[in-house]
Chain A
Amino acid sequence: MNRRESLKALGLLAAGAGVLTTACNGESAKEARIASETSNKLPGVEDWEHERTQKLLEEKFFTDHEMATITVLANIIIPKDDVSGSASEAGVPDFIEFIVKDLPSNKIPMRGGLKWTDVQCQKRYGNAFIKCTKEQQIELIDEIAYPDKAKPEMQQGVAFFSLMRNLTASGFYTTEMGVKDIGYVGNRPGVWNGVPEDVLKEHGFNPENFLG
């Protein structure tokens, strides 16, 4: 079988069908995401894995207030800009709800960190984080977003914000919107002929003798 036949076998050469076209199509991709969060079991996923996922999806961990706080924080970390939308537009809060159940060692750091944030805001501004003004929210975030210059008494907040930032980035850049933003253009059949010549030249490599 040559490469063309490989692709045929995958159904990738037939117009309008197959993995690739599905994956490139925005609507279908969105459906795929929703499907994975409801009931569809992908071929190759073990029964016990699927059952475990379903059970987690049925559970609710964060309270409505916590989810609202996560949404505000996620959008501070990844706001809408010229290139792509915001974290909440990419469904990041729902991802965070899922992943802390999936990786439960994140449960206490997240719940406790959200509470820590509210307590700080209550002391400073007399309000829960989400009830504070944008300026007040950013004032607090500035004190926990930069590990090297944060004050010692803010280190718990730093640890929480780092976790929140990592979960937000994981949730955002693994959606169709995020993949497009970051510029990943693979996951499709092709031929790898090495680094494109203009890039080789830009980086000062000889296209002929690349290991030399």
Chain B
Amino acid sequence: MGDYQIKESPEVYDAIVVGSGAGGGMAGYILAHAGLNVLMLEAGPFWDPAKDALQLRWPWESPRRGAGTTRPFGDFDAAYGGWQLEGEPYTTVAGTEFEWFRARMLGGRTNHWGRISLRMGPDDFKPTDGITEEWPISYEEVKPFYDRVDRMIGIYGTVEGYPNEPDGIFMKPPKPRLGELYIARGAKKAGVPVLPGRGAVLTESSPEIKGRGTCFYCGQCGRACKVYGDFSSSSCLVMPAMKTGNLKVIDNAMVREVLTNDEGLATGVSYVDTKSLQEYAVRGKTVILGASACESARIMLNSKSSAHPGGVGNSSGLVGRYLHDSTGASAWGFLPQLLDRKRFNEDGVGSVHIYSPWWEDNKKLRFPRGYHIEYGSGLNMPGYGFLNWVPGAVGMVAGKNGETRDSGGYGALLKQDYRRFYGASIGMAGRGTALARKDNYCEIDPTRVDKYGIPVLRFHYKWANEEVEQAKHMQDTFKSIMHEMGAVVLSSEQGPETKYGLEAPGVIIHEGGTTRMGNDPKTSVLNKWGQAHDCKNLYVVDAGPFVQQGDKNLTWTILALSMRTAEYILEEKKKLNG
């Protein structure tokens, strides 16, 4: 020990994939199945849902009863990570805000995600309002890849023909829970459409999907699925790719930079083993970054050489720029109609049972684009804090005898109150389009490094009026749905002082845009294939290439685009060999 030494491997891989989430997983899967010799580097440990998921555990098996002390989404959640990681800081410029969620594990954030799987529509790729730039590709070009992702991974939903909300190849959706029936009825009265949900959960078996079990309705997708009944990159992509014998995973491998030669082409990457702190360099003919939008940007910006003085692939100066998350705001309350409700197993699936696609005409509104609404309700598994709202709600509605008691209480009556109110809560959350702006970005903090000595990211992100107006519209909509369904609102009233409950950027964990694609190398980082304009054997397959996301959660589009990029790489190889 003591000497700084880099271990260099003599092997030259056909491709090195950095990251094992949706983007990296899909690229690795396609390339390994095509016979390429692929090395995948993952910053966290190997993780197999079959063994490591905390699915079907009871609340008492957690000493903190599921509280989110070490895992922000609760003690049973499947993400190793959070918005803050020990020894891996990031900074924000004063007066701006960004929260960066990272999961360090095989499969990354796909192990715990909400499985809500929406395609971006024709207007998302080619906007008709002229407010954001067009993608260099259209929905029609991506559609065949969406179709293949649907069949390969499995998704439930219903064919609706709804504008700019393309249908897919769907399995049957789960039926609504009782609270969701009330929500659907209230929403309809409020003029808000409600559709069955769309989620990456196997509600049916399929001859095209091997080695994965069918959903048995525990409602715990967030804990990852031991029978691989939902989509995690670990179980559905990386492990099957490993089985081909063509893909090797090195875990606990934190990538420092992309290595390049004098001509500026990528020759491999360097990484540090997070356990032993040994430094390594590995060589590959192609380097594919799927480390997450901000992490891939960080790697590129940290990969400086004489050929790439501003970081590899960054001659445009746009790496890290156009960072955008989804907007998010929410409301919740309870339904007096659900008090003292009959008990039954209402776990359902762990993704959405119903949702509302965007329905408004923007010509009448003070903001562009829109949002969808995700709904929740149910006789949910008890967990830390799940009844905290009940004593306060007691005084808001008449009891069985018609009299309203004071809020609070204790003793036998309180026990009856907990039983009475359990399962009566309902919630809704908007997820909308935040505009991709050049002025919202991440860059390398000139003064800080993480515990591995890697320079960290510094964020500069501010919401603008468009996003705030959208959040205001969400709150008005929630209020009107709640009113129409006869719910009692418990979430606090939001106004301009709280940006109408608009979550800080990054909180929704839909960040993208940092290495956007385009036809002009001066105004984009990647071409329409996800290939760096100024480093031809470097590709990005996470949400970095997104020019502008719609209000559709990112993952399905990441999968489709990564598949498309991987097949482009195969075609380019063929051309070279042919």
A165-B391, A170-B65, A190-B345 are contacts. A148–B411 as well, Cβ < 8 Å? no
CB contacts (< 8 Å) of B383 on chain A: these are 174
Q: Considering the chains assembled together, what is the distance between the CA atoms of A149 and B405 in angstroms?
A: 11
B177 within 8 A of A: yes
Q: Which of B54-62, B282-290, B495-503, B553-561 contacts A (4 or more CB under 8 A)?
A: B54-62
A14 within 8 A of B: no
Instruction: Looking at the assembled complex, report how far the CB atom of A108 sits from the nearest CB atom of chain B, in whole angstroms.
Output: 17
CB contacts (< 8 Å) of B214 on chain A: these are 1-3, 5-6
Q: Considering the chains assembled together, what is the distance between the CA atoms of A198 and B182 in angstroms?
A: 16
Contact present for B181 and A186 (CB under 8 Å):
no
A42-B61, A194-B175, A194-B176 are contacts. A183–B227 as well, Cβ < 8 Å? no
CB contacts (< 8 Å) of B380 on chain A: these are 184, 186
B212 within 8 A of A: yes
CB contacts (< 8 Å) of B379 on chain A: these are 183-186
CB contacts (< 8 Å) of A9 on chain B: these are 213, 226-227
B364 within 8 A of A: no
Instruction: Looking at the assembled complex, report how far the CB atom of A123 sits from the nearest CB atom of chain B, in whole angstroms.
Output: 22
CB contacts (< 8 Å) of B395 on chain A: these are 148
Contact present for A192 and B217 (CB under 8 Å):
yes
Contact present for B391 and A186 (CB under 8 Å):
no
Instruction: Looking at the assembled complex, report how far the CB atom of A199 sits from the nearest CB atom of chain B, in whole angstroms.
Output: 5
A23 within 8 A of B: yes
Partner of B391, one of A33, A76, A162: A162
Closest to B68 in A: A103
A3-B213, A102-B64, A196-B344 are contacts. A169–B418 as well, Cβ < 8 Å? yes
CB contacts (< 8 Å) of B213 on chain A: these are 1, 3, 5-6, 9-10
A183-B379, A185-B345, A211-B354 are contacts. A192–B174 as well, Cβ < 8 Å? yes
A23-B56, A32-B58, A174-B59 are contacts. A166–B388 as well, Cβ < 8 Å? yes
A42-B61, A44-B51 are contacts. A174–B66 as well, Cβ < 8 Å? yes
Contact present for A103 and B69 (CB under 8 Å):
yes
Instruction: Looking at the assembled complex, report how far the CB atom of A80 sits from the nearest CB atom of chain B, in whole angstroms.
Output: 9
Contact present for B64 and A187 (CB under 8 Å):
no
A32-B61, A145-B409, A184-B382 are contacts. A43–B51 as well, Cβ < 8 Å? yes
CB contacts (< 8 Å) of B56 on chain A: these are 10, 19-20, 23, 187-188
Q: Which of A46-54, A59-67, A111-119 contacts B (4 or more CB under 8 A)?
A: A46-54
CB contacts (< 8 Å) of A78 on chain B: these are 411, 414-415
Closest to B408 in A: A146
Instruction: Looking at the assembled complex, report how far the CB atom of A96 sits from the nearest CB atom of chain B, in whole angstroms.
Output: 11
Instruction: Looking at the assembled complex, report how far the CB atom of B305 sits from the nearest CB atom of chain A, in whole angstroms.
Output: 36
Q: Considering the chains assembled together, what is the distance between the CA atoms of A166 and B387 in angstroms?
A: 8
CB contacts (< 8 Å) of A76 on chain B: these are 410-411
Q: Considering the chains assembled together, what is the distance between the CA atoms of A53 and B62 in angstroms?
A: 10
Contact present for B419 and A146 (CB under 8 Å):
no
Instruction: Looking at the assembled complex, report how far the CB atom of A136 sits from the nearest CB atom of chain B, in whole angstroms.
Output: 15
Number of A-B residue pairs, CB cutoff 8 Å, is 240
A174-B66, A189-B218, A190-B345 are contacts. A211–B194 as well, Cβ < 8 Å? yes
Contact present for B65 and A174 (CB under 8 Å):
yes
A181 within 8 A of B: yes
Contact present for B407 and A199 (CB under 8 Å):
no
Q: Considering the chains assembled together, what is the distance between the CA atoms of A33 and B181 in angstroms?
A: 36
Q: Considering the chains assembled together, what is the distance between the CA atoms of A83 and B419 in angstroms?
A: 11
Contact present for A23 and B58 (CB under 8 Å):
yes
Q: Considering the chains assembled together, what is the distance between the CA atoms of A154 and B12 in angstroms?
A: 73
A52-B70, A77-B414 are contacts. A190–B216 as well, Cβ < 8 Å? yes
Closest to B389 in A: A166
Contact present for B382 and A183 (CB under 8 Å):
no
CB contacts (< 8 Å) of A46 on chain B: these are 70, 80
CB contacts (< 8 Å) of A2 on chain B: these are 205, 214
Residues of A74-92 at the interface with B, using a CB-CB cut-off of 8 Å, are 76-79, 81, 83-84
Q: Mark B388-419, 1 if CB is under 8 A from A, else 0.
A: 10111001000000000011111110110011
A103-B67, A141-B410, A148-B395 are contacts. A185–B343 as well, Cβ < 8 Å? yes
Residues of B192-217 at the interface with A, using a CB-CB cut-off of 8 Å, are 194-196, 205, 211-217
A9-B213, A141-B410, A181-B419 are contacts. A186–B345 as well, Cβ < 8 Å? yes
Tell me the A residues contacting B by CB distance below 8 Å: 1-3, 5-7, 9-10, 19-20, 23, 29, 32-33, 36-37, 42-46, 48-49, 52-53, 56-57, 76-79, 81, 83-84, 95, 98-99, 102-103, 141, 145-149, 161-162, 165-166, 169-171, 173-176, 178-179, 181-196, 198-200, 202-203, 205, 210-211
Listed A/B pairs (17) with beta-carbon separation below 8 Å: A6-B229, A9-B226, A37-B63, A43-B51, A46-B80, A78-B414, A161-B408, A170-B65, A173-B387, A174-B66, A184-B382, A184-B422, A186-B218, A190-B345, A194-B174, A205-B185, A210-B176
